Amino acid sequence: MADSVIDLENISVLFEQEGQTIKAVNDVTIHVNKGDIYGVVGYSGAGKSTLVRVINLLQKPTSGKVVVNGETLFEKNGQQSATEIDTKQLRAKRRGIGMIFQHFNLLEERTVSQNIEFALKHSGQKEKAIQARAQKLLELVGLGDRGKAFPAQLSGGQQQRVAIARALANDPEILISDEATSALDPKNTIQILDLLKRVNQELGLTVVLITHEMDAVKRIANKVAVMSDGQIVERGSIVDVFTNPKYPLTKELIGTAGESEKARRILATHPVQAAADQWELLHLTYTGPSVIDPVVTELYQKFDVEVSIIFGNVDELQGIPVGTLFVTMTGAPEKRQQAISYLHEEKIGVSKIEKEAAE
């Protein structure tokens, strides 16, 4: 596949535990292109960590194919014996895949510089060159003056910066971030995410971002896969998934579910003055700020339906303004249907929201 740096094909990972088989990853196929920031999002236990550990074979799949930069690292189908690159090749390959974790995993008894230098131990470079490289990496992550400090003397956000510098030491093409911001406060979370974005852009690094926070994905990723029970239930570009989420879990993670509830609450105190079959509650999404006003006006003229805004907001995804509106549409059922078709034609996402919350 063109420009593809990670191809996981039909990956399954089964664990046997206390006589039970756990399908941590169940037949997942994923392609990550060069330069992507690919978010994998889902709740705890969904299988995210297990899936990404397959990329560098820290976790060997029960079946499936792992291809990194066009090279097959592992392949096993059914009962067939596995194809696998040898340990030496795998070690070299792993140097091209940096990883950062929730708890930083720094060596506490070594200084910040020594932590980074440690990662360069097998690089074949002279000590002086290793020290210079470590310093350069510290400067890249904004800690040029903290090399002599010990990890415990740094804040969580600073420690994660050191971990990023260490992960970049061997010039990887891929960086896997496994819940790297989960232990950080909101300010440090933003700073770390922005640093990941910067290294993605400046170094051309491909980033796989594992998280349970949709906001993290929204801030920096260009693609997202939503995982549940070992499977990917929804995937696509950030703009598509955020403007038109299909799966209930995706809606829940994005927060659309909470917003729908808010719309219902507002309607409970400001009821629509029309018979129940004469109106409906809709969630509209659109890209580009200027499109919505004229279209809403046209709906009235063309289809004799009235659209009232309950609330809305404009967000930015990948630099594109994305608008969200919760509205009521009042009019005859067939006219409303025509109006909704027209909205689709105008590239405005429309989802019908239940008027009453499900029990």
* Minimum distance from residue 100 beta carbon to ligand ATP (Å): 14
**Helix-, strand-, coil-residue percentages of the chain, each rounded to 5:** 40, 30, 30
Site stretch for ligand ATP (CB under 6 A), options 43-51, 73-81, 235-243, 310-318: 43-51
- CA separation for the pair 280, 274 (Å, rounded): 10
Q: Is 42 an interacting residue with respect to ligand ATP (CB under 6 A)?
A: yes
Answer yes or no whether residue 49 interacts with ligand ATP by CB under 6 A: yes
Q: Which is nearer to ligand ATP, 7 or 179 (CB)?
A: 179
How far is the C-alpha of 239 from the C-alpha of 311, rounded, in Å?
Answer: 20
12 near ligand ATP, rule: CB under 6 A: no
Binds ligand ATP by CB under 6 A, chosen from 28, 48, 130, 193: 48
**Beta strand 4-17 with 63-68: parallel, antiparallel or unpaired?**
antiparallel
To the nearest whole angstrom, how small is the minimum distance from the Cβ of residue 11 to ligand ATP?
Answer: 12
Which C-beta is closer to ligand ATP: that of 44 or that of 81?
Answer: 44
Which residue from 176, 169, 172, 183 is spatially nearest to 113, judged by alpha carbons? 169
Report if residue 47 touches ligand ATP, rule: CB under 6 A. yes
Q: Which stretch binds ligand ATP (CB under 6 A): 17-25, 148-156, 186-194, 257-265?
A: 17-25
Residue 22 binds ligand ATP, judged by CB under 6 A: yes
First to last CA, the chain: 46
Residue 193 to residue 158: CA distance in whole angstroms? 13
Residue 196 near residue 178 (C-beta atoms within 8 A): no
CB of 334 to ligand ATP, least distance (A): 46
Pick between residue 44 and residue 79 the one whose CB is nearest to ligand ATP: 44
Of 159 and 211, nearer to ligand ATP (C-beta) is 211
- Under rule CB under 6 A, residue 134 binds ligand ATP: no
Give yes or no for residue 331 binding ligand ATP (CB under 6 A): no
Residues 180-219 that bind ligand ATP (CB under 6 A): none
SS3 state of residue 231: strand
Alpha-carbon gap, residue 293 to 300, rounded angstroms: 12
Torsion-angle region of residue 177: left (phi > 0), alpha (psi -120 to 50) or beta?
beta
Residue of 5, 6, 24, 249 interacting with ligand ATP (CB under 6 A)? 24
Judge whether 217 and 184 are in contact, CB under 8 Å: no
Selected binder of ligand ATP within 50, 159, 285, 330 (CB under 6 A): 50
Q: 270: which DSSP letter?
A: S
- In the complex, what is the shortest distance from the CB of residue 156 to ligand ATP, in angstroms, rounded to a whole number? 18
Strand residues in the chain grouped as ranges (E): 4-17, 20-33, 37-41, 63-68, 71-76, 83-84, 97-101, 174-178, 206-211, 223-228, 231-237, 279-287, 306-317, 320-330, 349-353
- Which of 6, 30, 46, 168 is in the footprint of ligand ATP by CB under 6 A? 46
- The identity of residue 308, as a single letter, is S
Name residues contacting ligand ATP, limited to 148-187 (CB under 6 A): 179
Structure tokens at 339: 């109006």
17 binds ligand ATP (CB under 6 A): yes
Among 3, 15, 21, 185, binds ligand ATP (CB under 6 A): 15
How many residues of this chain interact with ligand ATP, rule: CB under 6 A?
13
Instruction: Please give the residue ranges that form the binding site for ligand ATP (CB under 6 A).
Output: 15, 17, 22, 24, 42, 44-50, 179
